[in-house]
Amino acid sequence: MSEACYLKWDVELPERPIKGVKYFGNLKEFVIDSGICSHCTTCANICPVRGITAGDKPIDFPNWEELCVDCGACIRVCPRWNYVPLNGMGEFKEMVAAKSRRFTGQDGGMVTEIIASALEMGVIDRAIFVGRDDEWKPTIVHVKNIEQLEVERVRGTKYSFADVIVELRDAVFHTEKGVGVIGTPCMVSGVRKLQKTVRRYHDRVKVVIGLFCTENFYHHQLYSFLEEKGVDVKKIAKTDITKGKFIATMESGDTISIPVKEFEPIVPSGCKVCQDFSGVESDVSVGSVGSPDGFSSVIVRTDVAKDIMDFIRKNDYAELGEVKQTVIQKLVDFKIKIHPYPPKKKE
């Protein structure tokens, strides 16, 4: 942070394809309406007048004609603006399967483990998790101490959109040491772009965890779809997608599994163009694919994640195992195959 203070400074403006319209008009035209918006809510985070709304419906800016201040920040941070799809495995330092001894999460509980040990190390002083209420609607929880992670509802993945990045804005301005973020690959690329445009995010967001992701859903679409299939939402104890099937285990113990192909009609358009399976730009990617049952496979990409994993090994917080890289590679290529870009015009 330069101590020098300027009375005159300038900022680079993004290009404006449609001349007369405000920047959000362009974003709406080229990203949202053209269907490639991945609902990563980064624009809702940066919008100075907090006009862009996210939540459980597509991104929108009510009455943007007057309220938008035409600053272009949303375009500069949108990962899908001049979209170059990221795919493949990306470079990584090591890849290992691990099972946390302290927490039980979706599979190995490694996401919770990494955040807990990062908190212990002091790399970050808060992290943004996605909790849920009775109807599995995602709620945002700022985790600042380890006890909060004991709450069962905070751990485990929720297969629906949540405004994690919108909450990042308050977290970044209140934190001292740093913030930990967990998100799907599109959110990860959103955070990276945000870090490039606003220096404060670069200094304050220390740990970005990417999750293996084939596609994500709107909450109301996913759960009305499950209601039709006869699943009582209130009684679901755990949801999981493994081996091409969506498995919902009830509190009463019995499980209902639905092939993923049947979810095709409710997959949002943004996910159809995304080829990044494991979040190549994240510090560490975690997922259930390619690791034995009860384990999650961890792909460590940057040295920040490296120190955390060494800390976990040193304190033996997690049981390590062997990960089958070929299975992950197969899924990575599968995602590139099914989500071509530019998308073939469906007749």
Partner 1 sequence: METKFGRIKVLYPKQRLIDKIKGHVEALNAGLKEAIKPGRITIEYPRERRELPDNFRGFLLFDVDACISCFQCAFVCPANAINMRGAPNGRYYPCIDYTKCIFCHFCADTCPRGALHRTKIHDVAFSDMDEMLATTEELLKPPEMIREDKYLVKYEIKDGDIVLVKEETVVELAERPKFEIRPAKVSACAHPENCIACTLCVMTCPSNAISTKVENGRRVLIIDPKLCTGCGLCVKECPTCALALIER
Partner 2 sequence: MKDMAIDIPVEPPAELKSLFIPIPPEYVEDAYNKDEYLVLVGPQHPGSGHMRIILRLKGDIIMDAIPDPGYVHRSMEKLAENRLYIQNIPLLERPSIMDPGNYNLGYVRVIEKAMDIEVPERARYIRTILAELGRIGTHLYDAGILAVFLGHTTGFMWPFGLRELICESFLRATGTRITSSFIVPGGIRWDLDEKVLDFINKSTYTLEKRLKGFERIFIKNPAVISRLRDVGILNRREAIEYGVVGPFLRASGVEYDVRRVEPYEAYPELDWDVPIAEDGDAYSRFLVRVEEIYQSISIIRQAISDMPGGPVMSEDLIGRIKEKDKVSRDIRGYFYRIFSKLKLPSGEYTVLTEAARGTLLYSIVSDGESNVPYRVRIITPGWAYLRGFMESLKGSRVSDLQAIYGSFGYFPPEADR
Partner 3 sequence: MDEHIEFLKSGPLSLVKRWGAKWSLWPVHLVTACCGVELAHAYACGYDGERLGSLNYGICRQTNLIIVEGAITRKMAKVLRITWEQMPDPKFVIVMGACGLNGGLFWNGYHMVKPSDVVPVDYFIPGCPPTPEALLRGIRALQDKIMTGETNSTAKFSKADLSSIIEIPEEIKQKRVPTPPHSIAKAPVIQIDGQREIEWDEGANLIQTLKKDLEGLYISIEMTDLNRICLKTTPEKTPEIAERLKFTFDHVKSVNVVDVPNENKFIIEYVVSSYGVKDLMPVLLSIITEIPRDNPRHPSLAKHWPSADYMEREMHEFFGVWFEDNPWMGRNFLLSPDTPEYPLRKDFKLPRETYVLRGDSR
Q: Which residues bind partner 1 (CB under 8 A)?
A: 1-3, 5-13, 15, 46, 48-49, 69, 71-73, 76, 173, 197-200
Q: Tell me whether strands 255-259 and 236-242 are parallel, antiparallel or unpaired.
A: unpaired
Q: Which is nearer to partner 1, 12 or 228 (CB)?
A: 12
What is the radius of gyration, based on Cα positions, of the chain? 20
* Minimum CB–partner distance for residue 142 and partner 2 (Å): 8
Question: Binding of partner 2 at residue 50 (CB under 8 A)?
Answer: no
- HSE-CB at 248 with a 13 A cutoff on CA atoms is 21
* Minimum CB–partner distance for residue 204 and partner 3 (Å): 17
114, two tokens: 């990494």
* Minimum CB–partner distance for residue 161 and partner 3 (Å): 17
Which helix (H) or strand (E) segment holds residue 259: the answer is strand 255-259
Q: Which is nearer to partner 2, 145 or 224 (CB)?
A: 145
Q: How far apart are CA 41 and CA 54, in angstroms?
A: 6
Q: Which is nearer to partner 2, 166 or 309 (CB)?
A: 166
Name, in order, each residue with C-beta under 8 angstroms of 20's C-beta and a sequence gap of 6 or more.
Answer: none
* Minimum CB–partner distance for residue 323 and partner 1 (Å): 39
Q: Which is nearer to partner 2, 175 or 296 (CB)?
A: 175
Per-position b or e across 6-33, b if 16+ CB within 10 A of its CB: eeeeeeeebeeeeeebbbbbbbbebbbe
Do the beta carbons of residue 321 and residue 292 sit within 8 Å?
Answer: yes
* Minimum CB–partner distance for residue 11 and partner 1 (Å): 4
By CB under 8 A, name the binding residues for partner 3.
Answer: 131, 133, 139-145, 148, 151, 167, 170, 174
Binding at 9: pick from partner 1, partner 2, partner 3, none (beta carbon under 5-8 Å per type): partner 1
Query: Of 218, 229, 222, whose CA–CA distance to 269 is shortest?
Result: 218
SS3 257: strand
Binding at 13: pick from partner 3, partner 1, partner 2, none (beta carbon under 5-8 Å per type): partner 1
* Minimum CB–partner distance for residue 125 and partner 2 (Å): 11
Which helix (H) or strand (E) segment holds residue 330: the answer is helix 325-338
Instruction: Say how many residues make up the chain.
Output: 347
Question: Binding of partner 2 at residue 170 (CB under 8 A)?
Answer: yes
Q: Which is nearer to partner 3, 39 or 126 (CB)?
A: 126
* Minimum CB–partner distance for residue 73 and partner 1 (Å): 4
Whole-angstrom CA distances from 258 to 240, 244, 262, 263, 264 are 11, 9, 7, 9, 12
Q: For partner 2, which residue of 50, 57, 93, 174 counts as binding (CB under 8 A)?
A: 174
Residues of this chain that interact with partner 2 (CB under 8 A) are 144, 170, 174
